[in-house]
Amino acid sequence: MSHPVSESPCHAGGDTNDTIVVLGIGNVLWADEGFGVRCVEALDQRFQFAPHVSLVDGGTQGLYLIQHVQAARKLLIFDAIDYGLPAGTLKLIENEEVPRFMGAKKMSLHQTGFQEVLALAQLTESYPEQVLLVGCQPEELEDYGGSLRPRIREAMEEALQLGLDALQRWGADPQARAHAPSDEEAVTVPTLSLGAYEAGRPPEAQACRTGDERFMPRRPTPRAGA
């Protein structure tokens, strides 16, 4: 499932030569695959940035994100990446190395699509001067309707600090918010925000994440001697 690209009005981007885009990509419905989106959501909830900074919940939009990449002079990406490392391991990838890692051990179609976005931006000669990928090794992906695992949530805090360090160097001027943005101003669609998403989940005993038996009935177990 994909969800709409959201951009806070107070972080409106534009085709200016100092535009900074902070992009979180991934599918929040598949547990740790939502790491990137949750990072951008957390930044939006906790910080305000200079007018030339745009926070984007990219979800699984793939090629539809091309306009944001083309508009960026500096691009910060948060995503869950399968590096083959211990779960929760963070890895920083910069500039020309980023497309290669976006295509390594693809976990979902959104990574294939975003690799194409980067290639298209290069082809159109509208590629950011600086690109930084903050990637996190996921622990669990095969949990439809699941949320971030504890060690990934813990790693997210370190990832946010790494991202903030880069944004500070780039002139994004991050300032702690006194209050979280309203639903209308928030980057992430309110119904898919972390709090609403987790509050709406049924208990694991009731949640069927391997197929609904009403539509996918299990075969009866053969009786002995049958």
Q: What is the 3-state secondary structure (H, E, C) of 50-111?
A: CCCEEEEEEECCHHHHHHHHHHCCEEEEEEECCCCCCCCCEEEEEHHHHHHHHCCCCCCHHH
183-186: Cβ within 8 A, 24+ apart: 185/8, 185/9, 185/10, 186/6, 186/8, 186/41, 186/44, 186/45
For the chain, helix (H) and strand (E) counts, in that order, are 6, 8
Indicate if the pLDDT at residue 196 is higher than 90. Answer: no
Name the token pair of 113: 């699509």
Indicate if the pLDDT at residue 207 is higher than 50. Answer: yes
pLDDT digits (tens, 9 = 90+) for 18-64: 999 999 999 888 889 999 999 999 999 999 999 999 999 988 787 88
CA torsion through residues 23, 26, 31, 32, sign: negative
Domains annotated for the chain, with CATH where assigned, are 19-174 (3.40.50.1450)
Rounded Cα distance between 200 and 151, Å, is: 22
Indicate if the pLDDT at residue 108 is higher than 80. Answer: no
Lowest mean pLDDT among 18-27, 79-88, 179-188: 179-188
97 against 216, higher pLDDT: 97
pTM here is: 0.78
Question: Residue 93: its pLDDT value, please?
Answer: 94
Eight-state DSSP code of residue 30: B
Indicate if the pLDDT at residue 91 is higher than 70. Answer: yes
Q: What is the mean pLDDT of residues 92-114?
A: 72
Q: What is the mean pLDDT of residues 6-22?
A: 59
Give the CA distances from residue 18 to residues 14, 81, 162, in Å, rounded to whole numbers and listed in that order: 9, 28, 20
Name the token pair of 32: 């740790």
Question: Residue 31: its pLDDT value, please?
Answer: 87
Question: Residue 9: its pLDDT value, please?
Answer: 36
217 against 150, higher pLDDT: 150
Q: What is the mean pLDDT of residues 113-136?
A: 92
